[in-house]
Amino acid sequence: MIRVGIIGGSGYAAGELVRILLNHPDVELKWVHSRTVAGQRIVDVHQGLHGEIDMSFSNTIDLKNIDVLFCCRPAGKTREFIETHTIPEDLKIIDLARDHRIEDGSHDFIYGLSELNRKPMVRGAKHVANPGCLAMAVELSLIPLAKNLLLNSDIHTTIVTGATSEGAERRPTTHYAWRNDNMVVYRPFAHPQMPEILQVLRAMQQSFDSQIHMLPMRGSFSRGIMAVSYLDCPLELTEIIRIYSEYFADHNFTFITSKIPDLKDVVNTNKCIIHLDKIGGKLLITAVIDNLLKGGAGNAVHTMNLLFGLQETTGLTMKATGY
């Protein structure tokens, strides 16, 4: 059994992580740490887990009795944690924050996009940085093109995200009265996940120097991300579909569909569903994911499966809430 510990256990991603791990056949959840709700029962915070777990949030951290640590604390806190704790040599760490997503020489974390970096994760990596949820949707939309050196024009991307993308911390833009029946653009052209998107695309296509014009928007729904991108592409649609289908053929969670997807096709799953269309000279790419699963906890468990040599889909077979 893989012994698991979680720090930052009170947030949305951590709650989904606990839910998945409780049903994972090869996992023993040893403890869930939280500084803010230590001592409280987990089900009093993550109420959807009633009847599934009888455990309280820990106020202590024992790194010697676990095999993998999931870090679900805010940005900057994982790096701080590593600097202030003695980390066992063999402990694997999966960071869901953005502390280690940029490969800048200051750490040994592998970027946890399995559709790009599965081999290093299987071949002995110890530390993995989970991609950001917006970045995940954009990267999966574009990496087959980058692999085939087809990113040769500016890219325009509109992304609509659910309220849970902002985390569990209460703020005005997550209040029901504001969010319901409402939409707003935020951080246009300068989203903090842009650097990791550029890093991924340039790693695959070194000649890529075009602009990505990204417009994130807050949507009036709880969870899910829809990313709609368009760019110039000279190929016929049938050839583009072939390129995407071949790229994702041996990956277990990303699928090409002939139907324009909606969020309910992926919410509550670890899937990414992509639709391709060609209108004039423009390639239109629509991608949908669940921000808390494929864009968060689900991908983190997928990463764990790779690190420990398990079948990739173990614990991650979930049905979309289509109705």
Strand 225-232 to strand 155-161: parallel, antiparallel, or no bridges (unpaired)? antiparallel
Token representation of residue 144: 């087959």
- Is 71 designated active site? no
Question: What is the C-alpha separation between 79 and 59, in angstroms, rounded?
Answer: 19
Backbone angles phi, psi at 71, to 5 degrees: -105, 110
DSSP state of 200: H
* Parallel/antiparallel/unpaired status of strands 2-7 and 272-279: unpaired
Tokens in use for 74?
Answer: 């805010």
Q: φ and ψ at 61, to 5 degrees?
A: -125, 120
71, 133, 233, 272: the active-site residue = 133
6's CB contacts (< 8 A; 6+ apart) are 14, 17, 18, 29, 31, 32, 33, 69, 70, 72
**Residues designated catalytic:** 133
